[in-house]
Structure formats: C-alpha cells, structure tokens
Amino acid sequence: MTVIGMSRDESIDRLRQRTTPWDIVVIGGGATGVGVAMDAASRGLDVLLVEQSDLGKGTSSRSTKLVHGGVRYLRQGNITLVRDALRERTLLRNNAPHLVHDLKFLIPCHNLWQRLFYGIGLKVYDFLAGGNNFGRSHGVSTKHAMVAVPGLRRDGFRGGVIYHDGQFDDARLLLNMARTAHDHGACVLNYMTVTDLTKNDKGAITGVTAIDQEKGEEFLINSRCVVNAAGPFCDSVRKLDDGNCEAMLAHSQGVHLVLPRAFFPGDTAMIVPKTPDGRVIFIIPWHGHAVVGTTDTPISDPTLEPVPQVDEIQFLLDMSAAYLSKAPKIEDVLSIFTGIRPLVKGDKSARTASLSRDHVIRVSSSGLLTITGGKWTTVRKMAEDCVDRVIKETKLASANCKTQSLKLHGYTESSLVNDPRGFYGADLEAITALESEINELAKPICDSLPIRESDIIWAVRNEMARTVEDALARRTRALFLNAEAALKIAPAVAQLMAAELGKDDAWCREQIESFESVAANYIPQQGSK
C-alpha cells in the first residue's frame, strides 16, 4: 500500500518555494498548536505550523494519559468544563478509536459514607456525559474491589466505586493529528524557531522570522494571521510582540512515576480522589507498565526539560505505599517524567492546583492571537474556537469546522486494543509490509520493550523523527517507560537513523551524548537527587 508520510525535507522545500502569504502561521507544535493547524487545514485554509523543538517535546507528551471529563473539576464545581470535556471525550474516541479506549477506574473507599458520596458524584458525572460510548459507574463490594485491582491493599478499605473514562497515548495522538493536518494540506515543521514577529508601518503583524535549527537558515514568513499556541512558552512569544506585556501564565509542574506492572496488575486503573494536601492521584496501567501521578508544584519559569523534585517523587511513593499491597521504593521506579502546565493566572493568592483549566483566547492590538490554558481532552474544541476567532478577525473565507466528525490519520474500525502496536491503526499494515519486504526490520531491538527496527525506520520516513530522542521519547515511548532500557538501545537507534538520514559516525556520537543528557532527568537515581 502507498503511504504519504510527513517529510521535513519536503516541508522545508515547500517553505523555501513559497511566494505568497500563508493564511495562518501557528507557533507551537504541542496539542493546541497541532489542533489549530488540523482544524484550519481541514476547513481549506493555508496553514504553516512551526515548532522550536520536536512535536510534543514539552507538555503534550507528558500528561497522565487520560481523555477525561475531570472528576476533580466536578468537585470544584466547574460543571461547564466537565460537561464539555465529557462530550469531547466521546468525539475523540469516535474519531481515533485506535488511540483512545475505555478504561475502568476504582475509587477505593474507607467506609460506606465515602461509597455513597462518591457514588452520587459519579452518577452526576454519568449524567453530564449523556449518551456516550463509555461505561457507567456503579458501586462494588470489598471483594469485587480486590478482584478489579489485585494490587490494592487488603486492609482499611470497604469496597469502592467503579467509573469509566478514556485512556490514550498522548504523543501518538499528537502525531496522528499532525499527520491529519498534513493530509489536509498543512505544512508542518519541527526544529523551526520563531525569532521575531514582523509588522507593517501601522504596527500590524504581517508574519514571523524563523530559523531552521538543523541548518541555521533564516526564513522571512508572511502570513495573514499569526497564532501563538506555544503552551508554557506563550508569554515569550507575546514579548516578541510587546516587550512590556504582563504575563498570562502561572506555571506548575506535574511528576509521574513509571513502575513495573507487578506493582499494579489487572486492567482497572485507580484514583485517590483526595490526598492529604488536596491533590488527586491516579495509578494507571499503560503499555504494560503502571503510571503514578501527578503532582502540582508551582515553578517560576518553564523549561523544555523540567526536573522532578525530591519531595514530589517521595510524595508519589508515599501515596502509592498507602494504597498498594506492594509498596514501591525509588529503586523500583523505571522512569520519571515531568510536564509543565500552562495555567492562566487568576487570583494571585490561588494555588496552581485550583487555577482554571479552561482555555483563553486573546488578541493583541497588533493582531497576535494567543490561545493558552485548556487540557488535552478539550483540544479539539479549543482549536475550533481559535480558528473561528481567526476567521472573525481576518475575514478569511473558509468552510465550517469539520473536526467533530473528522477521522484522524490511522483511523480503523478493526479492534487493535490488544496489539502492542495497535496505536499505529491503519498504518500498521504498511509497517508489517515493510517488515515482510526486509525481514531484518522485524527484529526486536529491546529485551524489555516491544520496539522493532521497523518502528525506528517508520518514524524517520513518515513521522519527522530527526533525533534519537524523537524516536525513543515520542515515536516510541521507550524513555517514558524504562529510561535505562532506552539508554541501552540508543546506539543501535542512532545507527538506524543515521543510515536513513545520511548522517555519519560523528552525528551518532553527538546524538547518543545528547540523549544521555536528556535521559538523566528520567532516571530515578539521578532525577531524585
């Protein structure tokens, strides 16, 4: 079968040859930016998306892997956000069933009063979801709770409540959205950094200047509209427009621990709805491992590689020990990943845990349109609102929004839930054909993770993977699942990529060294210092 992949070289050539303004330039290759590009391209608009690093390098690959309405937002009384998120949860599963699936959750309860309290709350959750393709909540006895979550401690609990939400692979969904945008004509470029905004003599923005991080080539890019979707870095882009602008964001970071599945066997996730300091903790089965998270720690400045703090790691270990029959220790942790939330500032005295997860759209006097805030689950609606606003501001002619029923790249009606590589969806046929053509590519390259040579080749040829980190962190999830295992296979991955990209041994050495530096933040012993 013929597959038209995303090629960075072809996108660069397309940018070089451009002589007329783009309709929209989107700054930021995370969930929001890619969502905007996909929405706009599917309406027939001419879109260029530029990302300073790799697609999903920051927040969008570091989530708790849930497509959900947000049980804790219900507790906060944010009914509108919960209702909208539950609706979007259903649309996302309809449009990407190869990436989003139903997942059962147990809320373990210490007494009958808690079972009643949470049971009523989750019936409200079900009601707000309306007609959807997810299961309904119900109470369970102590015996059934232990069957649902075999790793749950057997002392101190009296049954619980089961409810349903969605699970996904965030980086893979982002790539599929980017490829959907590409399939509809968008030009997508990673490793392209915006250095300035250009303006006409009236002070209106006319485009951007950007530098190709690979070759150092500078581009002057004209556009009818510039959308700032840079996530945690959106204030930096706003300062290119107005150096004196007041910051919109209050940043916080969330840490996740990845454990061997032995600590949390079974297929039902668990939520601790209220910790001693008011947080919510999830323990979730994911890609044959267990993910524990997350924290909510205020930070002053965003970075591409946030570092977990000692007390955040210990907090998650302590909470796990309070609920799991087998208490994990730091030496049991396979990987630690940390993401930054771009939270819109509200009350200056408010904790970041209580700041709104709603999205905000602002247009500056020069025409820069900034969209920030929000959450993964509602990214489709965020993008729709953003493109609607672009059309209103610029009077661009376009079709109506199509993303409510737009099938994402890789869509397939065949069930691939039990296939370790089911996230490829319809593309899996082409990958297996590649393996049949070159048998060597079907060879596993990792003892503990289901990664083959074909996965790396596919990532380079069709998904714009340019570095070892791209391949091992986001095209496969090796770094997120087992940092030490990822380090072991990095040299082999570098050699495979070098052959595809036409690079030499010096490039391989540089890549391995760079990957080792990044992986240091994911390795428990180093990350916890």
pLDDT of 349:
38
Task: Report the CATH architecture of 11-59+172-248+355-394.
Answer: 3-Layer(bba) Sandwich (3.50)
| CB contact at 8 A, 398 and 44 | yes
Collapsed DSSP state (helix, strand, coil) of residue 41: helix
Please check the confidence at residue 283 and state whether its pLDDT lies above 60.
yes
Distance between CA atoms of residues 82 and 191, nearest Å: 35
Rounded average pLDDT over 83-102 = 93
Rounded average pLDDT over 485-513 = 98
pLDDT of 361:
95
Note the residue count of the chain: 529
**What is the value of pTM for the model shown?**
0.94
Two structure tokens written together for 158: 């009296």
Q: Tell me: the pLDDT tens digits for 110-124?
A: 999 999 999 999 999
Rounded average pLDDT over 429-449 = 94
| Same CATH fold assignment for domains 11-59+172-248+355-394 and 100-167+250-343 | no
Please check the confidence at residue 34 and state whether its pLDDT lies above 70.
yes
Lowest mean pLDDT, pick from 225-239, 261-275, 340-354, 481-495:
340-354
Rounded average pLDDT over 154-182 = 95
Please check the confidence at residue 355 and state whether its pLDDT lies above 70.
no
Two structure tokens written together for 272: 């601790």
pLDDT of 81:
81
Please check the confidence at residue 354 and state whether its pLDDT lies above 70.
no
Residue 471 or 528, more confident: 471
Lowest mean pLDDT, pick from 294-303, 351-360, 497-506, 518-527:
351-360
Q: Tell me: the pLDDT tens digits for 244-257?
A: 999 999 999 999 99
pLDDT of 416:
66
Mean pLDDT score of the chain, rounded to an integer? 92
| CB contact at 8 A, 413 and 97 | yes
Two structure tokens written together for 486: 């990822």
pLDDT of 62:
97
Distance between CA atoms of residues 516 and 526, nearest Å: 12
* Parallel/antiparallel/unpaired status of strands 249-260 and 281-286: unpaired
Report the phi/psi class of residue 328: left, alpha or beta, with left for phi > 0 and alpha for psi in -120 to 50. beta
pLDDT of 37:
98
Q: Which of 122, 63, 67, 84 is nearest to 358 (CA)?
A: 84
Task: Report the CATH architecture of 100-167+250-343.
Answer: 2-Layer Sandwich (3.30)
Angle at 409 between CA 404 and CA 410, to 5 degrees: 120
User: Which CATH entry fits the domain spanning 422-527: 1.10.1040.10, 3.40.50.300, 1.10.150.130, 1.10.8.870?
Assistant: 1.10.8.870
Rounded average pLDDT over 344-357 = 50
Confidence of residue 149 (pLDDT cuts 50, 70, 90): very high
Q: Tell me: the pLDDT tens digits for 284-309?
A: 999 999 999 999 999 999 999 999 99
Distance between CA atoms of residues 20 and 367, nearest Å: 19
Report domain extents, the chain: 11-59+172-248+355-394, 100-167+250-343, 422-527
Lowest mean pLDDT, pick from 115-129, 236-250, 354-368:
354-368
Q: Which of 520, 98, 64, 433 is nearest to 280 (CA)?
A: 64
Q: Tell me: the pLDDT tens digits for 97-109?
A: 999 999 999 999 9
pLDDT of 130:
83
Name the burial class of residue 272, with classes exposed (0-12), middle (13-18) and buried (19+) by CB atoms within 10 angstroms of its CB. middle
| CB contact at 8 A, 237 and 298 | no
Rounded average pLDDT over 394-398 = 91
Cis before 294 (ω within 30):
yes
285 forms beta bridges with 290
Report the half-sphere exposure of 84 (CA within 13 A, side-chain side): 18
